[in-house]
Amino acid sequence: MASRLPSTMIDPARAVPAPEPPSIGELLAFERLLAELSAGFVNLSATSVDDAITDALRRIVGLLDVDRANLIGFAPQTGETYLTHSWTVDGFASAALRSVSGDFPWAIQRLQAGHPIVFSRLDELPAEAAADEATWRRFGVKANLTVPMTVGGRIEGAIALASFRRERHWPGELVSRLRILAEVFGNALAYKRARESLDSAMKFERLVSEMLAALLTTDRAEDRDRVIEAGLRNMALFLGAERATLWERIGASPEFRKTHRWLAAGVPVPPDQAGGVAIAWINAQIGAGSVVRFASRADLPPEAAADLPALRELGVRSLVIVPLTVAGAVVRALSFATVHEERDWPAALVPRIALLGEVLGSVLARDEAHRREQEARAQAAHATRVGAMGAFAASLAHELTQPLAASLANAETGARLLAAPEPDLDELRATLADIVADERRAGDLVQKLRRFLRRGEVERGELDLREVLEEVLQLVGREAQARGVRLRLEIAEALPKVVGDRVQLQQVVLNLLSNAIDAVATEDRPAREVAVLAGRCGDGVSVEVRDSGAGMDGETLARIFQAFFTTKPKGMGLGLSISRTIVEAHGGTLSADSAPGKGSTFRIELPLRPSRRAA
Amino acid sequence: MTAPADAAGTVFVIDDDASVRRALERKLRTAGFRVETFESAQDYVARGPQAEIACILTDVRMPGMSGLDLQVSLAQAGRALPMVFITGHGDIPTTVRAMKGGAVDFLPKPSSEREILAAVAEALGRSAVIERERRELGSLRARYEALTAREREVLALVAAGLLNKVIGDRLGVAETTIKVHRGRVMEKMGAASLADLVRMSERLGLAPGADPARR
């Protein structure tokens, strides 16, 4: 019988005489156990696999009348051997679940080579197994059967049966059945590992996608900072880190500065280090696009020695830091650290952290681009606004001169009236009232101009369209008159207020009016008119600027909204393009309708409230 | 500032801006002028205001007819008045055009009271002179109209500097008859001397040597 065991080390001369082969009943019971376990393990959740295995071990102990059954695992990365599950009959102390690498050097080697360990008495063990024998003796083991556990063709552990109360024989059928049992266990463990890794990956993906969703629906910079900090916190908790930091590269320099950070409770705030952190080696690695990770400061290579003082000062025990690249350049870095104890950051984490970094990086880069675009747009808008106003400069100067001239005239008249022997007080009062009214009128105009020409932030507010349009008409009215153009304003009753930026919308109307005046002023006909019509349209409002000018052909009409397209000798060709951008930023549309000889109509349609993302 | 000597003058103020119109009206009225205001040049033309001594104070740049257009239009219609222009953005060509058209002054906007009143006073002074001359010419014409045909002939020849004898020969009458005619002409025209009579005939546009009777 012993000869049927592969590579057995049992000396047949010393073998305990086989008492009896296992009964049919015993074998049937074992078959039933196998079948039940195989079926039962399939529907288990990852967390209940451990309990199921321990329970199976208990049943084996009972069925085979042994005193203890153990499941042993070989950790592939560390090479350690752990006792992962164990069951002991009543009356004996339970086994501690711990590393047993040092206790069974000979046996582990044999098992990893695919051989079972079978002995009926301790003195069957060969001389090489002296250390192992001492351990078994210490634990009180009198007989033992251990078979390797194979998962997907790889030996990942073993199942061990031990007898404390007596020496005993292990039938060959039992050994082969135990191997099958080991396979069932192995599959269950593999399943558990896969589930765990899947769960963890899914949890991670969920965290990242939640954060991304939060970032994409957050407009305000402060809110965004909070979302990022919350994201760092969730990731740090998920990864078991005590400190999570998002870094931004300082210009083109090799150094980084912190932009967002999360600290676990009880983790001290690291001292802020002026002029960046003195970790030149780490910075160089990150700058070159490499990941830096160490479980302990002692793991750092000698070249990194200069970084140690700063790391010590920051209290970093272990660290993983991943560079984030945008268009091939490292612009940010994301780091997770522990400060209380050392810990390993498996390489498998790096792609996840990089994914997280990519999400953060792209959102932040998008913000940055958005901000730059806004700035450029505001500048262009301001330039065209100033340009547009420049065309009206002479008229506006005249408009401003009128009240000033009137009030100067009145002031001097007043002084003369006062100097009379019996001043005419009624006349004086009227004079002063006129002065006040004219000064107010001049002040209003200056204020409107200043507001219009200001290079300012976009300010959203509720606007009365009538007020907005009347102000623009006042600004251009003089010029229109001087050029013989009549302006007609028609506003529907009870027009609802719109939400928008007054100056920007006025700029659009001014631009359209200015174009319309140009279009009709060159016409040689008596009735030169530009009409501004405001009314409701659907859920919003519309403003139309209609001229009776020469109109445009289809080719011109198709190009008027393009930047730098102009039909005017001194035009920049930005007016309509910027106007359209402004209207669209308000969630509206700007369209044109024209035909040669039929004049042109420009139509602005605005929703009452622009969408959230609109700039 | 005291009221001008000839406070009977009327100032026609034309400005499209109500405030300015009001302020100018008040200033001139309280300074002793009669004032009428118009909100546009067309308004002025349409209303065709009358006053013996008057001037126009107008903005140059106005919607519709400008101050310069008005100046030309009134000159063509023979209704010219001394004009004072005010402008917020005077350029040299505009100024030159206005002054050539007979503008009394060209004031910037705003201008001081002293400048405005001085310009208006000068314009009215000019209007008064024109008016006086117009009246004188009218009475001169009336006296001339009262002369007989023969007397007009004699006046023209006397004014041309011819002697009685030569005139008698030319008209085919005796020298003594010419002497009588000449005395009647001097008397009817109210001329104190020969030189006075010559000046009168010049004002009446009787060219020396010309024969008004043959015109």
Beta-carbon separation of B24 and A409 below 8 A = yes
Is the Cβ of B150 closer than 8 Å to some Cβ of chain A? no
In the numeric block, the tokens 């003089």 are attached to A478
What are the structure tokens assigned to B121, written together?
């006073």
Q: Which long-range contacts (CB under 8 A, 24 or more apart) does A33-36 make?
A: A33/A59, A33/A60, A33/A63, A33/A181, A34/A177, A34/A180, A34/A181, A34/A184
Task: Identify the three-state secondary structure at position A319.
Answer: strand
Choice between A148 and A471, residue whose per-residue pLDDT is larger: A148
With helix as H, strand as E and coil as C, how does A254-291 read? Answer: CCEEEEEEEECCCCCCCCCCCCCCCCHHHHHHHHCCCC
Cβ A614 vs Cβ A586: under 8 Å: yes
Distance, in Å, from the CA atom of A236 to the CA atom of A228, rounded to the nearest integer, reads 12
pLDDT value, residue A2: 40
Is the Cβ of B20 closer than 8 Å to some Cβ of chain A? yes
Distance, in Å, from the CA atom of A30 to the CA atom of A142, rounded to the nearest integer, reads 23
For the cut 80, the answer to whether the pLDDT of residue A359 exceeds it is no
Residues A337-350 have a mean pLDDT of 84
Q: B48: which residues sit within 8 A by CB, 6+ positions away?
A: B79
Beta-carbon separation of B26 and A427 below 8 A = yes
By residue count, chain B amounts to: 215
Query: From B62, which residue of chain A is nearest by alpha-carbon distance?
Result: A482
Computed over every residue of chain B, the mean pLDDT equals: 86
Is the Cβ of B30 closer than 8 Å to some Cβ of chain A? yes
User: In this complex, which of A406, A427, A441 lies closest to B23 when CB atoms are compared?
Assistant: A406
User: In this complex, which of A402, A410, A424 lies closest to B17 when CB atoms are compared?
Assistant: A402
**Closest by Cα among A282, A268, A280, A270 to A333:** A282
Strand A117-119 with A143-151, pairing: antiparallel
Integer angstrom CA distances of residue B162 from A189, B144, B168: 151, 20, 10
Cβ A316 vs Cβ A296: under 8 Å: no
Integer angstrom CA distances of residue A354 from A291, A323, A351: 9, 8, 5
Beta-carbon separation of A401 and B88 below 8 A = yes
Is the Cβ of B27 closer than 8 Å to some Cβ of chain A? yes
Specify the amino acid at residue A392: F
Chosen for mutation from A398, A400, A402, A426 (greatest number of chain B CBs closer than 10 Å) is A402
pLDDT value, residue A204: 74
For the cut 50, the answer to whether the pLDDT of residue A1 exceeds it is no
pLDDT value, residue A533: 93
Integer angstrom CA distances of residue A278 from A253, A325, A483, B154, B186: 13, 22, 69, 123, 122
Condensed to tens digits (0 to 9), the pLDDT of residues A461-472 reads 888 888 889 888
CA quadruple B10, B14, B18, B24: dihedral positive or negative? negative
Distance, in Å, from the CA atom of A595 to the CA atom of A524, rounded to the nearest integer, reads 18
Distance, in Å, from the CA atom of B17 to the CA atom of A403, rounded to the nearest integer, reads 9
Min distance B28 CA to chain A CA atoms (Å): 9
User: In this complex, which of B1, B63, B88 lies closest to A416 when CB atoms are compared?
Assistant: B1
Condensed to tens digits (0 to 9), the pLDDT of residues B96-113 reads 788 877 788 888 888 889
Condensed to tens digits (0 to 9), the pLDDT of residues A245-299 reads 988 888 778 888 888 889 888 888 877 655 566 788 998 999 888 889 998 888 8
Of A15-19, B18-22, B121-125, B163-167, the one with minimum mean pLDDT is A15-19
**Closest by Cα among A566, A590, A594 to A579:** A590
Cβ A321 vs Cβ A335: under 8 Å: yes
Distance, in Å, from the CA atom of A92 to the CA atom of B46, rounded to the nearest integer, reads 129
Confidence of residue A190 (pLDDT cuts 50, 70, 90): confident
Confidence of residue A584 (pLDDT cuts 50, 70, 90): confident
Distance, in Å, from the CA atom of A544 to the CA atom of A508, rounded to the nearest integer, reads 11
Q: State the Rg of chain A over Cα.
A: 43
Condensed to tens digits (0 to 9), the pLDDT of residues A381-416 reads 677 767 766 666 666 777 788 888 899 999 999 999
Percentage of residues of chain A with pLDDT beyond 70: 85
pLDDT value, residue A276: 61
pLDDT value, residue B119: 93
Specify the amino acid at residue B99: M
Is the Cβ of B31 closer than 8 Å to some Cβ of chain A? yes
Computed over every residue of chain A, the mean pLDDT equals: 81
User: In this complex, which of B22, B61, B112 lies closest to A482 when CB atoms are compared?
Assistant: B61
DSSP A561: T
User: In this complex, which of B27, B61, B63 lies closest to A409 when CB atoms are compared?
Assistant: B27
pLDDT value, residue A107: 94
First to last CA, chain A: 85
Is the Cβ of B61 closer than 8 Å to some Cβ of chain A? yes
Residues B40-60 have a mean pLDDT of 92
Query: From B64, which residue of chain A is nearest by alpha-carbon distance?
Result: A484
Residues B27-55 have a mean pLDDT of 93
Q: What is the ipTM of this complex?
A: 0.74
Query: From A482, which residue of chain B is nearest by alpha-carbon distance?
Result: B63
DSSP B152: H
Confidence of residue A355 (pLDDT cuts 50, 70, 90): confident
Residues A35-64 have a mean pLDDT of 79
Cβ A482 vs Cβ A395: under 8 Å: yes
Phi/psi for A487 (5° steps) reads: -105, 130
Condensed to tens digits (0 to 9), the pLDDT of residues B52-79 reads 899 999 998 887 888 889 999 999 988 8
Contact residues on chain A for B89, CB-CB shorter than 8 A: 394, 397-398, 401
For the cut 60, the answer to whether the pLDDT of residue B1 exceeds it is no
Q: Where are the alpha helices (DSSP H) in A100-220?
A: 105-112, 130-139, 172-216
Query: From B28, which residue of chain A is nearest by alpha-carbon distance?
Result: A413
Distance, in Å, from the CA atom of A445 to the CA atom of A545, rounded to the nearest integer, reads 23
Cβ A173 vs Cβ A64: under 8 Å: no
What are the structure tokens assigned to A27, written together?
């074998």
Burial of A566 by CB count in 10 Å (0-12 exposed, 13-18 middle, 19+ buried)?
A: middle
Task: Identify the three-state secondary structure at position B11.
Answer: strand
Specify the amino acid at residue B53: I
Which residues from A are below 8 Å from B when comparing CB atoms? 394, 397-398, 401-410, 412-413, 416-417, 424, 427, 430-431, 434, 437-438, 441, 481-482, 484
Is the Cβ of B116 closer than 8 Å to some Cβ of chain A? yes
**Closest by Cα among A580, A577, A583, A576 to A540:** A583
Choice between A137 and A528, residue whose per-residue pLDDT is larger: A137
pLDDT value, residue A458: 66
Specify the amino acid at residue B134: R
Choice between A40 and A21, residue whose per-residue pLDDT is larger: A40
Residues A57-62 have a mean pLDDT of 89
pLDDT value, residue A235: 84
pTM of this prediction? Answer: 0.47
Chosen for mutation from A392, A401, A424 (greatest number of chain B CBs closer than 10 Å) is A401
Cβ A63 vs Cβ A29: under 8 Å: yes
Is the Cβ of B19 closer than 8 Å to some Cβ of chain A? yes
Strand A529-537 with A540-547, pairing: antiparallel
Distance, in Å, from the CA atom of A73 to the CA atom of A80, rounded to the nearest integer, reads 8
CA angle A229, A234, A237 (to 5 degrees): 120
Percentage of residues of chain B with pLDDT beyond 90: 37
